[in-house]
Amino acid sequence: MVKKELIDRSPLRVFEKSIQGGVGKGNIGVVASKKGVGKTACLTHIAVDKLLRDRRVLHVSFAGNVDHIINWYEDIFREIAKKRDLEEVQRIHDEIIKNRVIMNFSFAGTTTEQILGSIKAMITEGHFPADSIIVDGYDFEHGTLERFQKVSAFAKEMQIEVWYSASLKGEQPKFNAQGIPVDVEPYLDAIDVLINLRYEGEYVHLEVAKNHDEIGVKDLQLSLDPKTLLIAE
């Protein structure tokens, strides 16, 4: 399969259609679940899809292990290429990694202004005009709405789409009556798209709890493949 066909047939086209064409420039999306369900894989699949479409991705990690993030990208790309029998795999791989930058920060030891300053310097002075920012490992429990709103304002200023992962507390995370995880509820006004990951049998299903101006759970008819962790129809 050639790259264009792989892009056109990706389940992420269904995903985008389900959320009104995508998160959109200047907006924030969040993928939420308890630990170990597949948030990082889900975000990495979204990022790799963007890279395959020749878009630039800046991955911000608070996890403290850049090698771990690089391995996720390598594994997800390899699984996509194998699943779709992609042609010219090595050439495409070498092309897309040029459009990805990974930045690692300490959540406790770095201010939001320092983080956004570093990102802006990478975009402007580093000549890396990112289309999307992936934020992995952000601590919603110990973060603040004010800190989150600064990122929202930055996204609008720079016209960049931002995706966060959100780890929910406990084995049975709590949700309000509208399906919003209580751990991220304080941030809801600053979130444009909220995706919950939930187990159903062997599969992890994707459901949208906030879709821009719409609030309320809707199954996206998409799931994470239990073997590859790719988003699948």
> Per-residue pLDDT for 64 more than 80?
no
Q: What is the pLDDT of residue 229?
A: 87
Alpha carbon distances (Å) from 204 to 92, 120, 146, 213, 231 = 29, 35, 32, 25, 9
Quote the percentage of the chain above a pLDDT of 90.
89
CB-based contact 224:38 (threshold 8 Å): yes
Phi first, then psi: give them for residue 76, nearest 5 degrees. Answer: -65, -45
Q: What is the pLDDT of residue 203?
A: 85
Span 86-117, pLDDT tens digits: 999 999 999 999 999 999 998 888 999 999 99
Span 153-168, pLDDT tens digits: 999 999 999 999 999 9
Distance CA 179, CA 67 (A): 34
The domain tally of the chain equals 1
CB-based contact 60:135 (threshold 8 Å): yes
**H helix or E strand, kind and range, residue 82:** helix 66-83
> Per-residue pLDDT for 133 more than 90?
yes
Q: What is the pLDDT of residue 108?
A: 84
Distance of CA 91 to the CA centre of its chain: 25
Listed residue (148, 205, 149, 142) closest to 169, CA to CA: 142
Residue type, 17: K
**Residue range(s) defining the domain that contains residue 81:** 3-232
Side-chain half-sphere CA neighbours of 116 within 13 A: 17
CATH of the domain at 110: 3.40.50.300
The alpha carbons of the chain give a radius of gyration, in whole angstroms, of 17
pLDDT band at 193 (very low <50, low <70, confident <90, very high): very high
Span 38-63, pLDDT tens digits: 999 999 999 999 999 999 999 999 98
Place of tokens 């919603």: 140
Quote the strand ranges of 2-153, DSSP E: 28-34, 57-61, 100-104, 132-136
